[in-house]
Each structure stands twice: as structure tokens, then as C-alpha cells.
Amino acid sequence: MSRKYFGTDGIRGRANGLITPELAMKVGQAAGLVFQRGDHRHRVVIGKDTRLSGYMIEYAMVAGFTSVGMDVLLLGPMPTPAVAMLTKSMRADLGVMISASHNLFEDNGIKLFGPLGFKLSDDVEKQIEQLLDENLDKKLAQSASLGRARRIDGVHDRYIEFAKRTLPRDLSLDGLRVVVDCAHGAAYKVVPEALWELGADVIAIGVEPDGFNINKDCGSTAPEALSRKVREMRADIGIALDGDADRVIIVDERGHVVDGDQLLAVIAQSWQEDGRLSKPGVVATVMSNLGLERFLKGLGLELVRTPVGDRYVLEQMLSRGYNLGGEPSGHIILSDYATTGDGFVSALQVLAVVQKLHRPVSEVCRRFDPLPQILKNVRYRSGKPLDDAEVKSAIHEGEKRLNGHGRLLVRSSGTEPVIRVMGEGDDRILVEEVVDHIVSALGHAAAA
């Protein structure tokens, strides 16, 4: 069965376009029915980020869940990893995060977590998809069995305490000047507060959400504002989160951006030295730089690659027993602590290494020289440009040219109508030629 609604990270699309109140209510009903197991009173926790459409979707989902007999606990704006953590700690049957992650405010999405805080498997998502296209009138709860909804206080403090406990009790951030960019998103309250409690001198930006400014010229996808602020304030480090705080990008004291691959290298080497790696390796996606793979190999560590998407990284980690994985975008999964990517907890691990080594972030976070990597996106309106004969020919020719000298990856995005073309190799000019040729062919196909 093909997936009609779910992409690589839940259901995502234009608010009031694809993500309508009707769909949100139906998702609540369908997911509520799938996760009703046993005779106990079922409950679901719902968190959201700060985009305007969150109100509309939140209340539509409350209607859906209560109509099938589930009680709803509303968390308000909270990071995605906090929702996953609270789903488990509050013993809920299901967790929901209303967010389109790093997308701008016009989009929104619905991410679902099972009772243990993990994102749903493909099989469970298919069960929900089947119900979405059915008439559920006869499966609704009787009048006396309808659910209730209540807003939960104190959830910020729970997450702050959880995050702090991922560091040794004697480790303080005293003496560190930290600029944190919360992207006007879900972490705008909890992360600056947690850093202050840990002793850091905190300068917070991106903490004035208005419903429209989430991820706009800020956060992990636009770290230029953070870089400027770090230089202006002569800070030791900058931390950029995305709208739902499940990914992080670091900026060093010079204002230079450090991506997720370098962060994986920092944490991997530190954990290896401390004997904290459960297996001698790290899980990453096909997008991770070949430089990371070579660096880890030099440490005697394996790089296990998966398809793009943090859910696939986590699946591989769980099935093969690894406790560290991630993506260049800054989705870092530390399975000793969290069931999904947690941008803030990942940043804390890096801060711990900085404090331990007493060296500038520019030195601590430069573990390898990345190979030249070119990534270009081609947007299309409809059809399947990857099936075009000219595109197939360009890809085949590119693979032949890079053979033995690099990697080529062409794939459709799982969250938007975009085709991503990535080329990587020792010869930057060759890589650029290959990528540009494929992008040109995709452009022709998309315009046809």
C-alpha cells in the first residue's frame, strides 16, 4: 500500500491546504482507535510549536481524540523531544507533536509517538492511513465514554530537569558565554532557562514568537543571525535550534558554522574515550560526509549508513545496538537519553566536551576536513521528474564520472515536492559539473 498521508516525518503540508481541521480531527480519531488497547482509560499528550495554525490543529485533534474516548493532556509549546519524553513519563498511550519542524509558518504537520516515546513504524502508520479513508461514524465512543481534555502545568520544569540530568552532576557551564537561537519556536522558554540553571552566561535570540516568525531568517536552517550575534557578543559558542528543537547546529567563537557531522565526530570520540559507546560505531544517513566516515575509521569506528530520515537512523540504532546516530542537518539521536532527535541535549554533550578540554569551540568541533559536497534542490509541481529519460541518463552519466572518486545521491524529499541532488568527492569541480548536469535535466523535466 502506498503512503498517501505520511512522509518521512509524520504528516506535513500547507496549513489549511493539506493540513486542514478536518484532516487533523480524522487523524485524532484514527490514531486514537489504533492505540486503544485494553479497558483502561486511554490518554494522549499533545504538544505544539509556535506557528499560528497550531491552535486550529490542536483543537481539531482534541475533538478527534475525545470523540473516540481518549483523554487529552495539552502541553502547549514544547520541543518535539520533550513531547516524546513526556508521552512515556506520563504513561500516555500516544503522543502528538504539531509542528512542521524547520519549515516556515505557512506549513504545519502532525508527528505521532507510541507509548514508549518512539515514532511510529511504517506498519502502524499504514493502519492509521487505512482508517483515514474510512467512515468512522460507527466507531465513535458512546456519549458516556467521550474523552476529556485538560491543560498540564509544569511541563517546562520536567523537561529542563530531564535535560540537565544528561550531564554529570559536577559539570557546570560557568565561564561560558552562550548565544542560543531558538528560532522563535518550541524551545523559546525551556532552553535559555536550562542553560542559565547550568551556569552559563546566556544571550537568547529567536525567543519572541508571534505565530508568523518561526524559522524565519533564524534557527538551524538560517544560522547567519546567530553567527553575527556570537561575534558581536564575543561569545564562546552559539547554539541554533530549529522550530521544534529536534535538531541543532553549532557556531564557534569565530562565527563559523559546525554541522551535524562534526558534532557526531565530537560526541563519538568523547564517548569512545569514556567507554560510553555501546558498540564501536555510529549510525548516519547517506547524506553524511565521506570525511566523517574516514575520520571514524581512523578511530576504529564503523559508520553505518541508512536512508535519509532520523526515524531510519533510530531503527538501525535499536536493531543493531548502537547508541549514537544522526544527520548532517543536526538531528542527533542519543538513545541512552532520548527516543528521538534532541537538539538541546546534543548541544549539552558538545558543551561538556568544550568544558572538559578547555579549548576553543573552533578547535574542539573541527575533527575532520569535509570533502567537497554540493547539494541542490529542484522544486516541481507535479508528476515524477525522476522517471524522465533525460534525468535517468544524466544520473547514469554522473555515476560513471564519479566512480571511485566520490558519491552521488538523487532522491525525492519526503516532506515537500522537491528533488535533492547531492554530489561529493575529492575533486570539487568534477562534483559541481555532475550535479549541475543533473539539476539541469531535472529542471527541464519539471517544466515539461
Which residue numbers are catalytic? 101
Report the DSSP beta bridge partners of residue 249: 240
**How far is residue 296's CA from residue 269's CA, in Å, rounded to a whole number?**
8
Q: How many residues are recorded in the chain? A: 448
DSSP secondary structure string for all residues of 18-38: TB-HHHHHHHHHHHHHHT--S
Query: DSSP E strands: which ranges in 319-437?
Result: 324-326, 332-334, 373-379, 406-412, 418-425
For 341, the 3-state DSSP assignment is coil
Q: At what angle do helices 21-34 and 122-132 cross, to 10 degrees?
A: 120
CB 43, CB 65: distance < 8 Å: no
For 379, the 3-state DSSP assignment is strand
Strands of the sheet containing 43-48, edge to edge, are 11-14, 107-113, 94-98, 43-48, 71-77, 149-151
Amino acid 441 reads A
For 235, the 3-state DSSP assignment is coil
